[in-house]
Structure 1
Amino acid sequence: MGVLQPPLVIIYHKSSLYKHYTSDSTNMKKIISVSILLALCLAACSKKDDKNEPLSYLSITPNMCILEVGKLTTLTINTTENVVWQSSDPSVATVQDGIITAVAEGHAEITANVGNAVGKADVYVILQGGTYQGEYQLVWSEEFDGNSLNTNMWNIETGGGGWGNNEKQTYTASENNLRVRNGNLEIEARKDGENYYTSARINTKGKFDVAYAKVEARIKMPGGGGTWPAFWMLGKGSWPTCGEIDIVEHVGNNPKYASHAVHTREKNGSKGNNWHNSQLVENLVGEYHVFGMEWLKTYYLGVDAIKFYVDGVYSGTTYAAQNATFESWPFTADRPEFIILNLALGGNMGGTINNDIFNNPVIMYVDWVRVYQKKM
């Protein structure tokens, strides 16, 4: 028979590996005790390293909040270390030590930093008595990328007769007046004879209408006395009961100003008492600008509103009255409106036509039209 070897005990240490033979239980117990002690030391070192390991993620509660202007709320965070707080837009919401103050309508992202760890929260600020309706999402657009007008999206209106405003042009479907090329809709006004003017007008009636939306277009306005280009909306039914929203009108005889207006049965242009506003715009003629409107639900003190802007710069707001009637505010969810683009000449607003303007092309260029609605 071979010689019996004492039991082999292998002890692991961070610096080396030891082999030890023992032949009695006393020594074995000592070795086991040493092994346990070493294991406990290693575990303690590991826990110490874990404690010093930096946080990789910060959790902010709540991570989204809605505040009225002037209100405050406090955010909590999953750390006791010093936190660096920042607001993406202090003009909308400020933050100090996790305390948020709502300053003005809009959205701000609040960021908390501890070393490389980051936590984020969204703050939406609304006006007093308003409601948060969500964020805008694109729901319809026309980019005019083809070679002809998309008649699945647009109707072409034709005819003359003044169009209710003593306008001088006759609208046609001719490519001389209406065409799509180079990524633009082109509406050209022409003098085609003695006191005979032609132009174009299109709309989305029966093909697209919308309520409570942001509606925008990027347009390069023509210049010259008598021109009257417009980007506007109408509801169904007879005017002015249907409601009219003039997102932008431009009068060539007053070339530096873009105007906005709203017409209702109670207050309209025929009565001379409708809401309207004008905005001074640098280089308005001959350069592209974005003209927009927001039709807002429960915006302020529990009432709806329509808000206008040029190139993102606020221009004006008109509000529904408390307990508004259909005659004073027809802009409701069950009465959506369709979009119109046209270039008129002369008339009640366009004024006197300077025929010398037709020595050069008189063209309204529309790069795109886009519609957004708020979604939760």
Structure 2
Amino acid sequence: MFSQLAALSILLMTACASIPKNPGYRAVWYDDFNGIKGAMVDSSKWNQVTIKNAATLKQIQIYTDRASNAHLSGDGQLYIVPKKGGTSPRYWSSARLESDGSWACKAGEAMIFQSEIRVPDFTNALTKYNGLWPAFWTKGQSCRDGTAKGFKCGEWDIFEVTNNMGKINQGTLHFENLDGAHNGSLHGITQYAGGVYHTWAFKVDRRNSNWKKQSLTWYVDGKVFYHVTGATIGIFSEWKILAQSPFFIILNLAIGGEAGSYGGLATESTVDGFEASMRVKYVAVYKSN
């Protein structure tokens, strides 16, 4: 019995060692994407959703549940791989992964969503990455429960980059004002180097009893690049949605289908396959001790 417990302890320590520690926090959920090369993601942690038509978002990809669009690398990574299909008409396939769980930050606590990600180097790509739109973001669980729709659920955009943004990432909040209008005006930008891995994180901090002094903070490689407080939002009901509600994680790579798309317009010059992939070493949710 002792040897079995010791072996289990070693396995757990090995698993936890595969994601970084955040001092003062404990990991409550994570995926280090360890597994056999070519295998599907862990279905107990992720839903690989299928969406056949994203035209309303000016996107042209279909999201599939195929391993060719999302699979393990065999060396502790997830690859999300866009693929071209057909010739007349041309179509694209890709993947969108949504965490099975969702997490809320309780009063008196802080919570971090974090991931280490590599995307192509859009800065020097000319036109070959036009239309590619990889992202690490979240939606409020109320959207999945059907109790709210659209931006009323709340949304945290942590990392979303495109060829037309070059070496710029924009972190954004999306929510509804009291009058029902979409508010996407709160955002901060930061520069990053493409073609290498960066750690992107988003922290909800409710350790101050005054909600106006609570905060939402975006990080790249441990450095703050944007910060919003309850006082910035100014209306408690809106802050409650953004900072007190449960959110689930999304990893996806979209393909822009129109010039007006945030992702830009994919063309015949846009590359697909591994070169165009989004590569993820881990995703983790931490809560304060």
After superposition, the Cα gap between the structure-2 partners of 1:153 and 1:354, relative to the gap in structure 1 and judged at 3 Å, is: same
Mapping of residues 360-371 of structure 1, within 5 Å: 361=274, 362-371=276-285
* 1:340 matched residue in structure 2: 250
* 2:58 matched residue in structure 1: 166
After superposition, the Cα gap between the structure-2 partners of 1:299 and 1:250, relative to the gap in structure 1 and judged at 3 Å, is: farther
* Equivalent residues of 2:161, 2:168 under 8 A apart: yes
After superposition, the Cα gap between the structure-2 partners of 1:156 and 1:374, relative to the gap in structure 1 and judged at 3 Å, is: same
3-state SS of 1:225 partner = coil
Q: Distance in 2 between matches of 1:371 and 1:253?
A: 30
Aligned counterpart for 2:139 among listed residues 214, 231, 234? 234
| In the alignment, structure 1 residue 372 sits paired with structure 2 residue 286 | yes
Aligned counterpart for 1:196 among listed residues 64, 79, 91? 91
Q: Distance in 1 between matches of 2:57 and 2:229?
A: 26
| In the alignment, structure 1 residue 138 sits paired with structure 2 residue 31 | no
* Equivalent residues of 1:266, 1:328 under 8 A apart: no
| In the alignment, structure 1 residue 225 sits paired with structure 2 residue 130 | yes
Mapping of residues 1-12 of structure 1, within 5 Å: none
Mapping of residues 1-376 of structure 1, within 5 Å: 135-147=24-36, 148=39, 149-162=41-54, 164-181=56-73, 182-193=75-86, 194-205=89-100, 207-211=101-105, 212-222=110-120, 223=122, 224-235=129-140, 236-237=142-143, 238-266=149-177, 271=182, 273-281=184-192, 283=193, 285-299=194-208, 302-303=211-212, 304-321=214-231, 324-327=235-238, 329-333=240-244, 335-346=245-256, 348-358=261-271, 361=274, 362-375=276-289
After superposition, the Cα gap between the structure-2 partners of 1:332 and 1:310, relative to the gap in structure 1 and judged at 3 Å, is: closer
Percent identity between the two aligned chains: 28
* Equivalent residues of 2:112, 2:285 under 8 A apart: yes
Q: How many residues align?
A: 237
Q: Distance in 1 between matches of 2:287 and 2:188?
A: 24
Q: Distance in 1 between matches of 2:173 and 2:159?
A: 11
Show structure 2 runs of 5+ residues with no match. 1-22, 123-128, 144-148
After superposition, the Cα gap between the structure-2 partners of 1:141 and 1:328, relative to the gap in structure 1 and judged at 3 Å, is: closer
* 1:244 CA drift (Å): 0.3
* 1:255 CA drift (Å): 2.2
After superposition, the Cα gap between the structure-2 partners of 1:306 and 1:332, relative to the gap in structure 1 and judged at 3 Å, is: closer
Larger strand proportion, structure 1 or 2?
A: 1
Tell me which moved more, 294-303 or 308-317.
Answer: 294-303
Larger helix proportion, structure 1 or 2?
A: 2
**What amino acid does structure 2 have at the position aligned with 1:241?**
K
Deviations 1:40-74 (A, max 9, x none): xxxxxxxxxxxxxxxxxxxxxxxxxxxxxxxxxxx
Show structure 1 runs of 5+ residues with no match. 1-133
* 1:356 CA drift (Å): 1.8
Q: Distance in 2 between matches of 1:159 and 1:271?
A: 23
* 1:166 CA drift (Å): 1.6
* 1:210 CA drift (Å): 3.5
Q: Distance in 1 between matches of 2:139 and 2:62?
A: 20
* Equivalent residues of 1:232, 1:339 under 8 A apart: yes
Q: RMSD across aligned C-alpha pairs, in angstroms?
A: 2.4
**What amino acid does structure 1 have at the position aligned with 2:204?**
W
* 1:302 CA drift (Å): 4.6
Q: Distance in 2 between matches of 1:353 and 1:341?
A: 20
Q: Distance in 1 between matches of 2:207 and 2:92?
A: 44
3-state SS of 1:326 partner = helix
* Equivalent residues of 1:241, 1:327 under 8 A apart: no
* TM-score of the superposed pair, with normalisation by structure 2: 0.75
After superposition, the Cα gap between the structure-2 partners of 1:299 and 1:351, relative to the gap in structure 1 and judged at 3 Å, is: farther
Larger RCO (CA within 8 A; separation ≥ 6) = 2
Q: Distance in 2 between matches of 1:300 and 1:313?
A: 25
